[in-house]
Amino acid sequence: MSGETVKASEVQHPLMRHHVSRLRDVATQPEEFRSCVRRLAELLAYEATQDLALEPLEVTTPLTAMTGSKLAQRIALVPILRAGLGMVEPILDLIPSSEVWHLGLYRDEATAQPVEYYSKLPESEPSDVALVLDPMLATGGSACAALSALQRWGVERCQVLSIIAAPEGIEEVSRLFPDVSIHVCAIDEQLNANKFIVPGLGDAGDRIFNTQR
């Protein structure tokens, strides 16, 4: 690792700001919430994958032969269950050859620490690039746990894609994984006493899957 702290890239785009505002609104219903998450995930993935490696590809068009390009790396999408599932489909549409590996983590409400309850990562043949998908980067605990697992697997390059993030979560990921880039739609003000992002958008998993009570 380089030791140089990598700060988050807050993607500045009018569409981002529009859809994030719709997510935040308490009146936004689950169907629209899911649609906004998908749109934002696609925009984030576009931003995060601008420097993927390519290799030549010979193509025959209806008129002639030419040399095009194809992705040269194995790419893994790693959604943190369960909210991260809402970001998978639009990125698969962009990168159909991606592998999808699931990590199940939940936050212990007493300690605010992540607890792993499920992992589908194999023990060998790591992907070249891994995109960790977590709509909300709060304390950074879940993202760091996922990055630790990917590091043990042997992935050389990891990135975190989140819809919103708290400064505390960004600092924690950057402190422990200084070579990992973070791409977010919006950086919020802070965490409150209960470690929830403020102003935030509530519980992303509950709002995606309509399980609010």
Dihedral sign for Cα 31, 14, 84, 194, please: negative
In this prediction, residue 2 carries a pLDDT of 38
DSSP string, 48-79: HTTT--EEEEEEE-SS-EEEEEEE-S-EEEEE
In this prediction, residue 12 carries a pLDDT of 83
Give 71's strand partners: 54
Asked whether 128 and 75 are in contact (CB, 8 A), the reply is yes
In this prediction, residue 9 carries a pLDDT of 81
Could you give the C-alpha distances from 182 to 7, 32, 70, 198, in angstroms and in order?
7, 25, 25, 19
Rounding to the nearest 10 degrees, give the CA dihedral for residues 177, 134, 92, 94. -70
Active-site residue set: 107, 111, 203, 206
- Map out the domains of the chain with their CATH numbers: 8-50+74-209 (3.40.50.2020)
The model's pLDDT over 77-94, given as tens digits with 9 standing for 90+, comes to: 999 988 999 999 999 999
The model's pLDDT over 144-179, given as tens digits with 9 standing for 90+, comes to: 999 999 999 999 999 999 999 999 999 999 999 999
What is the pTM for the complete model shown?
0.89
Q: What residue type is assigned to position 43 of the chain? A: L
Please identify which residue in the block is written with the tokens 């698969």.
Answer: 92
What are the mean pLDDT values of the chain's consecutive 10-residue runs (213 residues total)?
57 91 95 95 94 96 97 95 92 95 78 76 92 95 93 94 96 95 95 93 91 81
Read off the tokens for 152.
Answer: 């043990």
Give CB contacts under 8 A, 24+ apart, made by 179-183: 179/1, 179/2, 179/6, 180/6, 180/147, 181/6, 181/9, 181/48, 182/6, 182/7, 182/8, 182/9, 182/137, 183/8, 183/9, 183/11, 183/44, 183/47, 183/48, 183/159
How far is it, in rounded angstroms, from Cα 132 to Cα 144?
10
Nearest residue to 203 via CA among 18, 77, 37: 37
How far is Cα of residue 52 from the mean position of the Cα atoms in its chain?
16
Bridge-based pairing of strands 190-191 and 197-198 is antiparallel
